Amino acid sequence: MIQACLFDMGNVLVSFSHEQMLQQMAAVCDCDPEFLREWLFESGRLLDYERGHTSDDELHDQIELAVGKTVNRQELRWAASDIFSQNSQLIPLLKSLRQSGMKLVLLSNTSRIHFEHIQKHFSILEHFDSFVLSYEVGLLKPELEIYKLAVQQAIALPEQCFFTDDIQKNILAARQAGLHAEQYQNVEQLTQELNRLIESE
């Protein structure tokens, strides 16, 4: 019996644009967005940051060193974070799941500034019982250990948990960890998947 639903955040609960982030950060840093793309993404620095291996201050200092100038911290933080929009169509489903007694757990590869921005500016995270965040636990999906931590937060067995994420490799890893899991496409599809799973029990 399904007792908990685990949700990814990016492109499930909220949509976002890395392109917008790069453009906005580049404007603040007065540099080429393609330079930032290589420096952040292709180098693996962003993953280190989301894993919690690099602090906010350390990353900011590294960016200043890379662009060779002082960069306003608050402006850069806003430029990097003001890239989200809430998937409000999902809120009725979240409310319905909670009303049915389902435990809701957020399982996200994210950074502190992104999580705090979303928590401050949108209401969707208010529906969750607990959060498993990569920068806090030092793990990233699709590493199996992070799913085990999420199951512990759900206070359930893996087979009693359902997980959805927009990235297929994260779904496959969740299944390997023993969870029911389906790739997120839209609210209607997710609702159908959940109903099918619940009705089959």
Print pLDDT tens along the chain (201 aa).
Answer: 899 999 999 999 999 999 999 999 999 999 999 999 999 999 999 999 999 999 999 999 999 999 999 999 999 999 999 999 999 999 999 999 999 999 999 999 999 999 999 999 999 999 999 999 999 999 999 999 999 999 999 999 999 999 999 999 999 999 999 999 999 999 999 999 999 988 876
Are residues 39 and 11 part of one domain? no
Q: What's the number of domains the chain is made of?
A: 2
Is residue 60 located within the same domain as residue 98?
no
174 and 186 assigned to the same domain? yes
The predicted model scores a pTM of 0.95
Residues 187 and 120 in one domain: yes
- Asked if 8 and 59 sit in the same domain, the reply is no
Pair (71, 11) in one structural domain: no
DSSP summary character for residue 10: B
CB contact at 8 A, 6 and 163: yes
Residue 130: its pLDDT value, please?
Answer: 98
The pLDDT of residue 193: 94
User: Domain containing 185 — which CATH number?
Assistant: 3.40.50.1000
Q: What is the pLDDT of residue 91?
A: 98
Q: Do 105 and 10 share a domain, yes or no?
A: yes
Q: 30 and 65, same structural domain?
A: yes
Q: Which domain holds residue 60?
A: 18-81
CA dihedral (156, 162, 164, 169) positive or negative: positive
Same domain for 153 and 195: yes
Domain end residue (candidates: 30, 62, 81): 81
> What pLDDT does residue 199 have?
80
User: Same domain for 184 and 113?
Assistant: yes
Domain-ending residue, one of 63, 81, 99:
81
Q: Is the peptide bond before 92 cis (omega within 30 degrees of 0)?
A: no
Question: Is the domain of 100 the same as that of 77?
Answer: no
Query: Do 105 and 178 lie in a common domain?
Result: yes
